[in-house]
Homo-oligomer: A and B are copies of this chain.
Amino acid sequence: MFNLFWADEGGLPANDRGLAYGDGLFETIRMEGDRGALLSRHLERLVRDAGRLGITLSRSDLYSVFGDASARFSGRFDSHSWVLKLTVTRGAGGRGYRPDPRMKPSLLVASAPMPQMAPEAGVDVDFSRVPLTVNPLLAGIKSLNRLEQVMAARELNDSLFEVIMSNSEGYLLEGTRTNLLLKTSQGWSTPPASSLAVSGVMRDWVLECLRGRGEQVVERPLMPEDIIGQECLGLYLLNSVLGVVPVRSLAGHDLPVDGGLATICNLLETLE
């Protein structure tokens, strides 16, 4: 089990390892009233990736907290849409970095208003100047170590929706809060999951959704010239709160915009 904290009643203890070391992970879930989009995928990823960090969580306990949270927070917002955030940490205490194996995890449950939706006509995106480093042991985990994304997000402004981060070899990996999906005449491609800092549940679901329709989908390293070139039929940003976001320009280069993917893979059809 975990120690449960409600964000509207206060924060975690001062010596929680989430603050001290980013020793934990989180999920942000798009809510419509008391139902969550891609809910089971979010909770399964949380249990699985917590396990990779050595933090044991019970899926059924998380469902029970979800039930309480959706009853507690839905109706508090002007909009039917809102965001539920679950933050799990290894708990409080330990001997410096070294955790105590008997430690009880902390679960902080918070709600937030729905962010502004991206325009259907597409968004403007640039390359980030902040390199992204991925530890193979932590690849894909939405951990609380997100300082690189924060530094990159400082490059955003009200007309720049997202920046795309690359590794030291120059391969495009992901946005600060989105995964990438490219459409070409050969089909769909996306950077390999093993190369990613955060491998999103929206990405997983969209890939499955496309494969289920018989579309060609490959995971392969992407370079800037794969997108800014004749081959590109569309670039999409994937985020489990905002859904499918088409890109209309990358670093000043216009890209073709096609709203079809957002219709095929409609996040709001995944409410549970």
Q: Which residues of A contact B (CB under 8 A)?
A: 5, 7-8, 10-23, 26, 53-54, 87, 89-90, 95-99, 108, 110, 115, 130-138, 143-154, 156, 176-177
Contact = CB atoms under 8 A, between A and B. Distances in A.
Given A7-B15, A10-B14, A144-B21, A98 B133 contact: no
Nearest to A239: B96
Nearest to A168: B136
A254 B145 CA distance: 36
Contact of A14 (B108, B137, B144, B148): B108
A92 to B, nearest CB: 9
A154 B98 contact: yes
The list of the 4 closest CB pairs from A to B, nearest first, reads: A22-B22, A7-B14, A97-B153, A21-B146
Nearest to A129: B137
B138 A147 contact: yes
Contacts of A131: 135-137
Contacts of A145: 21-22, 145-147
Contacts of A16: 11, 19
B147 A110 contact: no
A87 B97 CA distance: 15
Contacts of A90: 150
Nearest to A54: B154
A153 to B, nearest CB: 4
Nearest to A134: B133
A7 B54 CA distance: 27
B110 A149 contact: no
Given A20-B26, A21-B150, 14 more contacts: A5-B14, A7-B14, A14-B108, A16-B19, A19-B87, A19-B108, A21-B146, A23-B146, A53-B147, A96-B153, A98-B153, A138-B148, A145-B146, A145-B147
Nearest to A175: B97
A148 B134 CA distance: 11
Nearest to A89: B19
Contact of A135 (B7, B23, B110, B148): B148
A146 B15 contact: no
